[in-house]
Structures are given as structure tokens and as C-alpha cells.
Amino acid sequence: MLRRRFASHLVDFYLADESPCVGLPAHLDEGRAAPRRARMGDKCTLPQLEHMVALLSLLARAAHRHEPVARTPLSLEGRLLHMAADEYQLLGHGALLRRLLKDGLHVAAICDLCEHLCYESRDATETALHVILSGIDTMDNEQLGPYLTTFCHVVDLADSLAAWRIDWALQRLLHVISNNMRYKQATISCMRALLSLCVLSSRPRRWMLHQRALWVKEWLLSGLSSQVRCTAEHFIKAILAAESQPSAAAAGAAAAGDTAVGAALPPPPAGLAAETGAAADFGLTGDAMATEVVTEMAVEPSGAAPELAVAEGGAGACSPALLSMYEHLVSHVVLRELRELPAAAAAGAQASKHPDDVPPPRLAPYFRLCAWCARRGAVSPSLRVEELQDLYALQDGHRFECDETKREMLSFWHAATRASFACVARAPPLVAPPPQALSAAFHRLLDSFVSLRPNERFLEYNRAFLPSFYGLLREMLDCPGGDDCLRVLVPHRNWEWAIKYVIVDTAEYVQLLQTPDQEPDPFAHTLRSLLRSSAGVNADWRLRTLGVALSSNKLLTNRANVLPLLVICMAGEEEVATACE
């Protein structure tokens, strides 16, 4: 076949009028156009050409390469055959690669061919990646699969050009994604392909982490749709979790089909799988691990306060990559770059015609990611209470009901405060602010807008919001200057309102009375601590709260909350006498 230049004939046959082998017939004048070739098949019955692509790949891998390195890891074993130089160049011609990828014929064979041609070859790499990136830039989302799969295989090549190839390819892919951000599905497909590559290969993953300034803000904060921003959140969590795993353990998990690696990773955004389809298989080595990384995610409960990673390993137990990413993320808060985004979200909500429309969760993925980092022990010495208070006041001032951005912002503030308390050695300013700043932030939190409508949407939202809200108040009482905060809490009308409508009149949010067979509830523990702190400093508060509890018509039906409240309030003879009356 090689002696008869069979590969050239196949390429010429396949490309037809687009073939670089085509010349004018000798009997035609130079001024006359060559006749067009008849195209095989039609739109409904295309010819079966998959085996042709496999044969081209096989012939290329069976022959000597016309490169300084004649053999590649994909070359066939045994003696290599001779292929003419022009025929070898034809197999890597842009016209052939462009047509193969567009038709999506035998993608595995295309990947093998491109890897074989690009190995230790800068020119072949640039040609192939130029064709691939042009296709990613111009094709519809449904046609991107072959391009993204081949891109991942070429970029993942292990040779002396790997560092140059990764830098060259990923910079241009980020540029393509940036230019096409308005196309939601195509953007998500590109991000998922890149995730598959980064999870399985350390070089591109570390390049993305090192070059975070090129993409994190644009994807996570400036993404034009919530699906893109949620995908960016999931992308960052996955590569950070993969970076923290030892490579040997990751390889073992991939070989054994173990879900331990996947279990350490965060859950994909709710509804994202339904929006974009199941996790894509981009055909890289270790597909089992890629599937686990993307799909086998352990769900982190939003209503509870997860234990910090530093609780066992001590301060600084998280990876350097996570610390660097966290510092980069919170720099947007410190530099006050987020102030205009809540205003943009408010404008979008005000334009809505329906008053009960859910506000756009513009910053929810960002704050959810920051909280995820903080729960794993990341601490920033530059994060201060004043910046968080200003940002929270701006968001809360819109008075959105079921505001996901506010909920995730508060969850981050709570997680960051807990992480700062665990980092005693450095005494971060978040838990050691000036007393006036702490008291002002505490007062602003108590003034928060909260709606307790008795329908399922509000119940679900508040079950996630209230534990972080009161958990943060409890953490702030432990800061230096917490006594001033307690003096703000006790007479505040919203605290009295919460006792009546969150504890006394309903059991939808918390159950203060915990039996030994029940799983401990952090929210119940937080509320009992706040109630005891309030009862310990003010007798008038105890009497008022006692009156609220005893006058409720839910005294018997909600006794799991009312009885512990009565025990806390009856700290002296006066309260006992009042209760008896």
C-alpha cells in the first residue's frame, strides 16, 4: 500500500475538490476551470468511511516519520516501513484534518493520527491545533465533540514539547472561550472538556491554576449565564480537589474504579447535569477516573456547618494551590470589585414583571466557592469585617426574597470566620477587628431582611439560610469585643421576633430538645448558646421571653422548642414565680 501511495489516493478520494493533490487535467487550457467531482452519497446516506480513517491512522503509525524522532509511542511494534515525505505531510494537512473533524469520522483514529503526527513536532502541533481551535470557534455545540476530544489528546502528549504545547494551546483555547461566552452550551462544553483534561493530567491543571488571572474572574463573575458561572465553580472545585490528591492514589483509584477520589470532590451544581447532559467522556487515558471525578461527587449539606479541614490537620492543612486560589478569590472582595455586580442583579430583578420571581443569583457560585475553600482550612490575612459588611449591606438592601446570593454570601462569611478562629497562630483580622467595626457589623446583620412565609420555597430557603446567619452571630460573640455584640443582641427587636416565629410558633426550622437517639443538630446547638448568652446578662429579657413562650398557642404542640426555652429563661426565683402564675 505504501509503495503504491495508497494513502495519497485515499486522501484524494475523500477530499475530492478540496484535495491538495488535485491538479488540472493536461488536456485542459489554463483558463478553464477543472470539472467538479461527483460527491458520493447524499445528505441522508453518507458513505461509510470510518474504516478509511482507521486505515490512514494505521499506515501513518506503521511508517517512519519524517521528523528527527522517527518512532512515537503510538508507532506499531517491529520494523517501520517507508512512506514518501510528501505523502506523510499529506496525512497532517489542514484540509484533511478539517474535513475529518467536521465529519466526526472514527474520532479515536483521528486522535491517534494527530498524536502520532504532533509528537516532538512543533509544526505539526501548530497545524493540528489551529484546525481544532478554528473548529471550536466556529462550530455549533452539537458538533464540538470531535474537536474537543482531539484537543485534549494532543495537549496531553508527553514529550519534550509538552510545556510549550500546553501554554500555546490553552492560551488560545481561553481566548476562544472568551470570544464565545455568549453561546452558553458551547462554553459549558469547552469547560467540561478542559475539566476532563485537567483532572487527569497535572501539567494542564497546574497551568490553569497558575494562570488563574486569565479566566477565573471572567468565568465565575462575568459569565453571561448562571449555568456558565456554576460550571466555573464546579471546574475550580474539581481541579483544586484533584491537585490535593497524591498522583499515586489517583492512578490507583483510576485503575481500580475506586470512588474515593470522586468522593473528595464537590457536587456538580444542581440541575447542571440535566442542562448540559451527562459527564462527557473525552477518551483520555484513565476514563474511569474522569467519570468519577465529574459525576461521583459527595453532596455537602448546605444547612449544616461542616467541620473544617483544619480541625484535624491544624492551621494551614489545606494545599498551597487552594490557599493561592482562595487569596485570589477574596481579592475581589478586598478590592471592592464586586460592588457593582449586586446592583446589576437588582436592575435585572426590577425589570421582571412577576414580583415573586427568584432574583438572579449573580454572585452565588462565587461565594459558594469561597465558602468551600474556607471549610477546607483556607484563611486570608487580607479579608476584613468592614468589606464583608459593606457587601452584605448592599445585597440585603435590595430586600430580595429567597436571595441565593445573600444566602451564599452569609455562608461564606460564617465559614471564613470559623476558619479564622481555627488559625490561632496568625490571628486573622476577620476575628480580631476593631470593637466598633465588629459591633457595627453585628448590628447590620441583625437588621437583615428575612421573610418566613409558610410555603415550601421559603421553608427550604430559610432552612439553609438561618443556620449560617445565627452561626455567624454566635462566632462573632466569641471575638474580642463580643460583649458589645451581646449588648446589641439582647434588646434587638429582630432577636425577639426570631424567638417567637422561628422557635416558639413553629418547629419547621429547628428542634431545641435533642433526644439521645437523634443526630446532633448544629443549628439547635447554636440557638441554645445564643439563648443562654442572652439569658445570662439580662433579667428583663428572660421575663419577656418567658411571657412569649407561655402565651403561645403552640405551647403543647411545639413543646420540643418551648420546654428548653422555658428551662433557659427560668434562671431565678422571679422567673419561676412568673411561670407559675
Residue 90 confidence (pLDDT) above 80: yes
Structural domains counted in the chain: 2
Determine contact, residues 391/339, Cβ cutoff 8 Å: yes
| Residue 361 covered by a domain | no
Name the residue among 335, 423, 424, 434 with its Cα closest to residue 379.
Answer: 423
DSSP state of 81: B
**Residues 6+ positions from 517 with CB-CB distance below 8 Å:** none
pLDDT score at 156: 95
Count CB-CB contacts under 10 A for residue 192.
22
Q: Return the pLDDT at 7.
A: 72
Answer whether residue 14 is part of any domain.
Answer: yes
* 419 neighbors 379 (Cβ within 8 angstroms): yes
Residue 47: which pLDDT band, with cuts at 50, 70 and 90? low
DSSP string covering 325-352: HHHHHHHHHHTTTTTHHHHHHHHHHHT-
Residue 81 φ/ψ, nearest 5 degrees? -90, 170
Residue 297 is assigned to a structural domain of this protein? no
| Mean pLDDT of the residues in the chain | 80
pLDDT digits (tens, 9 = 90+) for 167-216: 999 999 999 999 999 999 999 999 999 999 999 999 999 999 999 999 99
Q: Tell me which of 180, 195, 229 is where a domain ends.
A: 180
If you search the block for the grid coordinates 421576633, which residue do you land on? 497
What pLDDT shows up at residue 441?
Answer: 95
Q: Is residue 105 part of a domain?
A: yes
Could you give phi then psi for residue 66, rounded to 5 degrees?
Answer: -90, 60
Q: What percent of the chain has pLDDT over 70?
A: 75
504 or 81, which is more confident? 504
Q: For cell 458538533, name the residue.
A: 143
For position 137, what pLDDT does the model report?
Answer: 96
Q: What is the pLDDT of residues 320-371, one digit of tens each?
A: 999 999 999 998 887 777 766 655 555 554 554 444 455 556 889 999 999 9
Report if residue 416 sits inside a domain: no
Inter-residue contact 152 to 191 (CB < 8 Å): no
496 has a pLDDT exceeding 80: yes
Residue 426: what pLDDT? 58
pLDDT digits (tens, 9 = 90+) for 122-137: 999 999 999 999 999 9
In tens, the pLDDT along 362-417 reads 889 999 999 999 999 999 888 899 999 999 999 999 898 899 999 999 999 999 99
Query: pLDDT at residue 283 above 80?
Result: no
How far apart CA 35 and CA 53 sit, in angstroms, is 26
Is residue 516 assigned to a domain? yes
Of the candidates 469, 545, 553, 551, the residue with the CA atom closest to the CA atom of residue 510: 469
The rounded distance, in Å, linking the Cα atoms of 265 and 386 is: 32
Least confident of 437-441, 503-507, 509-513: 509-513
Domain end (from 180, 195, 224) = 180
CA distances in angstroms from 310 to 249, 252, 317, 319, 464, listed in the order given: 22, 26, 6, 11, 23
In a domain, 137, yes or no: yes
Q: How much is the average pLDDT of 80-90?
A: 85
Q: What residues pair up with 63 in beta bridges, in sequence order?
A: 81
The identity of residue 360, as a single letter, is P
Where does a domain end: 121, 154, 180? 180
- pTM for this structure? 0.82
Average pLDDT of the residues in 508-522:
79
- Give the closest residue to 132 by CA, choosing from 149, 113, 154, 147: 147
- State yes or no: pLDDT of 221 exceeds 70: yes
Q: pLDDT tens, 222-263?
A: 888 899 999 999 999 999 999 987 543 344 444 433 333 333
**pLDDT(281) > 70:** no
* Residue span of the structural domain in which 176 resides: 1-22+47-180
Residue 514 lies in a domain: yes
Is residue 445 within 8 Å of residue 392, measured between CB atoms? yes
